[in-house]
Amino acid sequence: MHRLAGFNNPRQAQSFIDYMASRGITLTLASEPEGVFALWLTDSQHLIEAEAELTAFLANPHNAKYQAASWQVAESRTAKFHYGSPSLMAMIKSQAGPFSLSVMVVVIGIYLLWFFGLQQPIFDVLHFPLMNGDQWQVWRFFSHALIHFSTLHIVFNCLWWWILAGQLERHSGGGKLVQIFLVSALISGFAQFWLHGANFGGLSGVVYALLGYIWWSGWLAPERRLSIPKPYVVFMLVWLVIGFAGPLGMSVANMAHLFGLISGSAMALVDIKLIKTR
């Protein structure tokens, strides 16, 4: 199955489903968070035709041919709306890209080894350099982002990585996501190391960079159609403040979070300025 698009109006989505059914192409409708209804193409061999028809439909959804198609297929429907159930893997893949998915696979694989008792060997190989000669092991400046210390830690980071990195990769491509990953891992890692040492790890610094990049991009250049819901921003900023306040007694890489956010926001400012200059 292939996810075609998300609609806020299920009746409009059903109109397109009916039209495609009249052309012999099956689509299903699945509800998603925040009131979105996703259109899924059952057979990917019709992808090119479905995308072309979807573009035409979005340009003129009130065309008479769509209403006619709804009447034509009305008798064959047993319910007003049909909600499909795409598989979990199909949903994960539809909201991400090759690099974002690859990072998730690597992170989960490393955590499984960590969980089964290889904590020290993994940390010894991947931690941020101690600057005692290991600074020449260049991978360490980035690999610290792949280490997670608990199930809650990895679930939280992977969820936000999937949401934010997946959105950015689908919008701007894998190259931009790789750039933000490398730059933010480097900057957030240095900030955390200089103030608290090398005993840290996790994707959260990169996640906050993605938050900053998408947030500021949507604010400064809404025409790019890259944005993040305000409740997400509020939640992450509140979590950042809670980390510095430390009421829960948890060990949190606060400087990595803060400088990740700053680096991502700065990259957004630079990109938007370059785009507007061109």
Q: Which residues are catalytic?
A: 204, 257
DSSP three-state, residue 37: strand
Let me know how long the chain is.
278
Write the CA distances from 39 to 48, 59, 63, 64, integer angstroms: 15, 17, 19, 21
How many helices and strands, by DSSP H and E, does the chain display?
12, 3
229 closest CA partner among 11, 32, 5: 32
Burial, 214: exposed, middle or buried (Cβ in 10 Å; 0-12, 13-18, 19+)?
buried
Dist CA 23 CA 196 (whole Å): 62
Q: Please name the helix (run of DSSP H) or strand (run of DSSP E) that holds residue 31, with its range, or none.
A: strand 27-32
The runs of H, that is alpha helices, within 24-63 are: 47-59
Question: Which residue has 């931009």 as its token pair?
Answer: 176
Dist CA 168 CA 83 (whole Å): 27
Query: 7 forms bridges with which residues in the sheet?
Result: 37
Burial, 22: exposed, middle or buried (Cβ in 10 Å; 0-12, 13-18, 19+)?
middle
